[in-house]
């Protein structure tokens, strides 16, 4: 049985309510990194880059007009396709997180239909569990393969201007249809028929005719094994085919009670190695300053053997809720990174701008400075990211040491295999070299 440990979950937004509005806001928050302290004790067309906080118009990116909010029940439109299209709009134009939408979607079919009605102007039949599973699969896969799907759609449009001026909702419907045909191998007649119906009802008959024509072209090319390949410099067609190959990874899903009972959890190796760098010991007090969704936090807590405290702090309330639920399962009462870390997050890789990077580096420095004040003499500050960008990793540590000469680097070779240790004594994993996610960590000790 899992040991009962002590963990405190703190929303940093509540702590810093009086702070300057530009700091520690959701807009500047990246999802996949951690700062821990311890002491002994292709760019899409222009219309696809807009971000909104309101419901998105299916015709143009913008707020939904009252006329589009008519209450109407449509039993002919596939509910999982309608919800998938609306979720994709919310992620691309509203900045929503796919994982949070998945969590909110569990058992909240009425809530999902509310978004569909406000965005599309009608409701479908209620979602069942199978529908929700399809929504998660289709939305995640469509985002992950967006660049390739857009390449196929563009190739089958009359010209580039047709693709570039395409209405946002129409593009999402086509992406869904292409993903279902190319990746999921769903029955072609069902994919064409139901996506055409969605386009006709949500937009207009002409939009449905366009979806019908493009999807049927795709079916013809797929049947002849002649899907268009991306154009690459050079004449090596074999290389082009290799780059266009769609990889699949077999995953063995064990239907047992281990996960439900909190006896085991799933974590990428790169994140687990960061915990090895922290090296939690029984009796210690550890603060995870950017904790949600809590994988490293809970792993550190499990390493304390029932003695010690882990305080988990994060600015995102939604992601903290996920941490709390995971902590309950395991009987337990990451600094912000930019596009390089988010490349593995399909819903985030398309929503990063160059100007975000400089802001987030400044925020990384602020978080390091704040965390350093919580370390007692002889204690350890671990700076970790899930990025492979030197500007966010080694350069941030170098800048920190210039500001705080009272800290020194503690080489990590005692904690992780040598293949992950850099010349300066940092932990670094690289997807190309190690075949795991990219990550970085540095141990910094405060002088006595």
295 is in an annotated binding site: yes
- 384 forms beta bridges with 34, 441
SS3 384: strand
- The CATH superfamily assigned to 6-40+257-446 is Vaccinia Virus protein VP39 (3.40.50.150)
Handedness of CA 211, 212, 214, 215 (dihedral sign): positive
Q: For residue range 301-318, what is the model confidence (pLDDT) as tens digits?
A: 888 877 888 887 877 777
Q: How confident is the model at residue 329 (pLDDT cuts 50, 70, 90)?
A: low
Burial class (CB in 10 A: 0-12, 13-18, 19+), 428: buried
314 is in an annotated binding site: yes
Same fold, 6-40+257-446 and 66-223: no
Q: For residue range 405-445, what is the model confidence (pLDDT) as tens digits?
A: 999 999 999 998 888 999 999 999 988 888 888 899 999 99
Query: Domain spans of the chain?
Result: 6-40+257-446, 66-223
Q: Which two tokens stand for residue 367?
A: 């978080």
**What distance in Å separates the CA atoms of residue 236 and residue 166, rounded to the nearest whole number?**
33
Cβ within 8 Å of residue 363, ≥6 positions away: 23, 24, 28, 335, 336
Selected catalytic residue, list 157, 264, 289, 386: 386
The top-scoring range by mean pLDDT among 189-203, 284-298, 334-348 is 189-203
- 246 forms beta bridges with none
pLDDT number for residue 44: 45
291 is in an annotated binding site: yes
User: 10-14, 161-165, 375-379: which range is least confident on average?
Assistant: 10-14
**Fold entry, domain 66-223:** N-utilizing Substance Protein B Homolog; Chain A (1.10.940)
293 is in an annotated binding site: yes
pLDDT number for residue 191: 95
pLDDT number for residue 230: 62
pLDDT number for residue 446: 94
pLDDT number for residue 70: 45
Average pLDDT score over residue span 45-71: 42
Burial pattern 386-398, b for ≥16 Cβ within 10 A else e, equals bbbbeebbbebbe
**What distance in Å separates the CA atoms of residue 142 and residue 140, rounded to the nearest whole number?**
6
**What distance in Å separates the CA atoms of residue 405 and residue 313, rounded to the nearest whole number?**
26
Cα–Cα distances (Å) from 183 to 44, 68, 137, 248, 403, in that order, read: 21, 33, 11, 10, 51
Q: Does residue 161 have a pLDDT over 80?
A: yes
Alpha-helical runs (H) found in 229-387: 237-244, 269-278, 295-302, 317-329, 339-342, 354-372
290 is in an annotated binding site: yes
Q: For residue range 248-262, what is the model confidence (pLDDT) as tens digits?
A: 232 333 334 455 556
Residue by residue, DSSP assigns 93-136 as HH---HHHHHHHHTT-HHHHHHHHHHHHS-B-SPP-HHHHHHHH
Q: How many residues would you count in the chain?
A: 448
Query: Is 386 part of the annotated catalytic residue set?
Result: yes
């Amino acid at each position: 049985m899992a040991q009962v440990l002590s963990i405190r979950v703190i929303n940093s937004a509540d702590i810093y309510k009086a702070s300057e509005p530009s700091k520690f806001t959701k807009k500047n928050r990246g999802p996949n990194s951690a700062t821990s302290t311890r002491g002994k004790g292709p760019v899409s067309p222009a219309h696809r880059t807009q971000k909104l906080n309101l419901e998105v118009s299916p015709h143009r990116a913008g707020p939904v007009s009252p006329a589009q909010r008519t209450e109407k029940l449509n039993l002919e439109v596939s509910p999982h396709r309608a919800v998938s299209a609306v979720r994709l709009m919310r992620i691309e134009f509203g900045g929503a997180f796919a994982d949070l939408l998945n969590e909110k979607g569990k058992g909240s079919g009425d809530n999902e239909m509310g978004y569909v009605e406000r965005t599309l102007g009608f409701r479908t039949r209620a979602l069942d569990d199978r529908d929700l599973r399809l929504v998660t699969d289709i939305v995640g896969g469509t985002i992950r393969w967006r660049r390739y799907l857009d390449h196929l759609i563009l190739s089958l449009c009359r010209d580039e201007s047709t693709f570039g001026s395409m209405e946002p909702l129409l593009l999402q419907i086509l992406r869904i249809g292409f993903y279902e045909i190319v990746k999921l191998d769903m029955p072609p007649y069902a994919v064409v028929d139901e996506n055409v119906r969605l386009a006709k009802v949500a937009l207009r008959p002409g939009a449905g005719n366009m979806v019908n024509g493009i999807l049927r072209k795709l079916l013809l090319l797929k049947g002849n094994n002649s899907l268009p390949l991306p154009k690459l410099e050079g004449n090596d067609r074999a290389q082009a085919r290799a780059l266009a190959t769609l990889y699949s990874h077999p995953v063995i899903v064990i239907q047992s009670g281990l996960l439900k009972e909190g006896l085991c959890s799933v974590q990428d190796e790169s994140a687990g190695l960061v915990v090895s760098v922290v090296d939690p010991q029984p009796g210690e007090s550890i603060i995870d300053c950017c904790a949600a969704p809590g994988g490293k936090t809970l792993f550190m807590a499990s390493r304390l053997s029932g003695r010690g405290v882990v305080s988990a702090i994060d600015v995102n309330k939604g992601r903290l809720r996920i941490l709390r639920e995971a902590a309950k399962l395991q009987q337990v009462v990451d600094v912000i990174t930019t596009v390089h870390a988010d490349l593995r997050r399909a819903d985030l890789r398309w929503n990063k701008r160059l100007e975000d990077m400089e802001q987030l580096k400044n925020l990384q420095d602020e978080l390091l400075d704040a965390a350093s004040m919580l370390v007692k003499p002889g204690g350890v500050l671990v700076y970790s990211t899930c990025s492979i960008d030197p500007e966010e990793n080694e350069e941030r540590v170098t800048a920190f040491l210039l500001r705080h000469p009272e800290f020194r680097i503690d080489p990590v070779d005692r904690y992780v295999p040598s293949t992950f240790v850099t010349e300066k004594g940092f932990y670094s994993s690289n997807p190309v070299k190690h075949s795991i996610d990219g990550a970085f960590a540095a141990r910094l000790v405060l002088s006595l």
